[in-house]
């Protein structure tokens, strides 16, 4: 019996050692997550210098206009309940803490296009995003902080209220206005249909020309223009016969990602034709261009415009 007990002790010790060895890496990850989880707004405040308790007029106007658009499109389902100025970021550590705080999976974010309410979502980052989408969103937010948030940037908390209660987000700003906030920067007002414009044909010229352009616009939550993507096709013709055609495209967005491609698919004959592939999105998503399908696609979760198609233009 004694021999049996000794054997059992050996197995038990071996099991503990094996478990300990297998879980070393997991323990290290858990420690890192625990350390990160302890980072709070109070830690960020230690890396700031005091500033005016009132945000600049331009920021207050942007907050006011944002609230008006939330009331207009969301029927008061989400409201700004107040703000709490933290201070002016004064150290590199403050930037690093900001990077962590806005991308942490427990932080709140709102995404979507207010012109299409089916796309609007609100919740904690870790609840809205999983797997690769979570990595894309967190990386996009961290990269945005690295590029846009510098020492000297002001930061405040925005207090939000909805049917589930209250929550806060960090809002970064300077004298020119708001730079980023996970709600104010991720919710957008985007065209669901393109805006079109064309020229009058130059009938008096020996070789006349005619053009058509179409574009999609993205706006900040407070209403000012944030980005645009579009294309323009031009044909050159005599009578009813097209002798040449060309196309150009463009895309740009503040604090986001943009892509645009276009090509001529019919240059001469009865008409000219082009193909276009356009996209805009906020930092939490990504855009990719497929050359074989000649199309732009969006992945992740965030506000976005994607427009793929063809346009024929007749004399």
Length of the chain: 315
Q: Is the pLDDT of residue 30 over 80?
A: no
* Per-residue pLDDT, 199: 86
Q: Taking the model in full, what pTM does it have?
A: 0.81
- pLDDT tens per residue, range 271-313: 999 999 999 999 999 999 999 999 999 998 889 999 999 999 9
Confidence of residue 41 (pLDDT cuts 50, 70, 90): very high
d(CA 146, CA 76): 33
d(CA 308, CA 81): 40
* Per-residue pLDDT, 51: 87
CA distances from 253 to 179, 183, 268, 311 (A): 13, 17, 34, 24
d(CA 277, CA 261): 5
d(CA 310, CA 34): 52
CA distances from 200 to 78, 153, 209, 229 (A): 46, 49, 9, 23
Average pLDDT over residues 93-108: 94
Q: What percent of the chain is predicted at pLDDT more than 70? A: 87
Q: Is the pLDDT of residue 214 over 70?
A: yes
d(CA 259, CA 289): 8
Strand-strand pairing, 225-238 and 241-253: antiparallel
* Per-residue pLDDT, 19: 28
3-class secondary structure per residue, the chain: CHHHHHHHHHHHHHHHHHHHHHCHHHHHHHHHHHHHHCCCHHHHHCCEECCCCCCCHHHHHHHHHHHHHHHHHHCCCEEEEEEEEEEEECCHHHHHHHHHHHHCCCCEEEEEECCEEEEEEEEEHHHHCCHHHHHHHHHHHHHHHHHHCCCCCEEEEEEEEECCEEEEEEEEEECCEEEEECCCCCEEEECCCCEEEECCCCCCCCCEEEEEEEEEEEECCCCCEEEEEEEEEEEEEECCEEEEEEEEEEEEECCCEEEEEEEEEECCECCEEEEEEEEEECCCEEEEEECCCCEEEEEECCCEEEEEEEEEECC
Q: Is the pLDDT of residue 12 over 50?
A: no
Q: What percent of the chain is predicted at pLDDT more than 90? A: 77
């Amino acid at each position: 019996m004694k021999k049996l007990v000794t054997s059992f002790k050996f197995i038990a010790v071996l099991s503990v050692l094996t478990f300990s060895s297998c879980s070393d890496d997991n323990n290290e990850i858990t420690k890192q997550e625990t350390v990160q989880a302890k980072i709070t707004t109070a830690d960020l405040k230690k890396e700031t210098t005091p500033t005016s308790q009132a945000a600049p007029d331009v920021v207050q106007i942007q907050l006011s206009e944002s609230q008006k658009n939330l009331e207009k499109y969301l029927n008061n389902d989400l409201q700004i309940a107040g703000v709490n100025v933290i201070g002016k970021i004064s150290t590199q550590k403050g930037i690093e803490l900001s990077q962590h705080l806005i991308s942490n999976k427990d932080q709140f974010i709102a995404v979507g296009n207010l012109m299409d309410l089916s796309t609007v979502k609100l919740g904690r980052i870790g609840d809205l995003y999983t797997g690769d989408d979570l990595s894309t969103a967190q990386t996009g937010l961290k990269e945005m902080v690295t590029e846009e948030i510098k020492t000297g940037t002001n930061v405040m908390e925005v207090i939000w209220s909805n049917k589930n209660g209250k929550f806060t987000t960090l809002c970064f700003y300077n004298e020119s206005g708001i730079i980023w906030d996970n709600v104010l920067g991720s919710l957008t007002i985007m065209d669901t249909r393109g805006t079109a414009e064309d020229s009058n044909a130059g009938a008096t010229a020996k070789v006349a020309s005619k053009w058509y352009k179409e574009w999609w616009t993205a706006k900040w939550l407070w209403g000012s223009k944030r980005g645009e993507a579009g294309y323009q096709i031009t044909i050159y013709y005599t009578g009813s016969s097209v002798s040449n055609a060309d196309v150009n495209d463009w895309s740009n967005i503040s604090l986001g990602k943009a892509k645009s491609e276009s090509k001529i698919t019919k240059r001469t004959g009865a008409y000219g034709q082009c193909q276009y592939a356009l996209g805009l999105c906020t930092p939490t998503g990504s855009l990719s261009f497929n050359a074989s399908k000649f199309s732009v696609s969006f992945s992740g979760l965030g506000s976005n415009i994607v427009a793929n198609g063809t346009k024929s233009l007749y004399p």
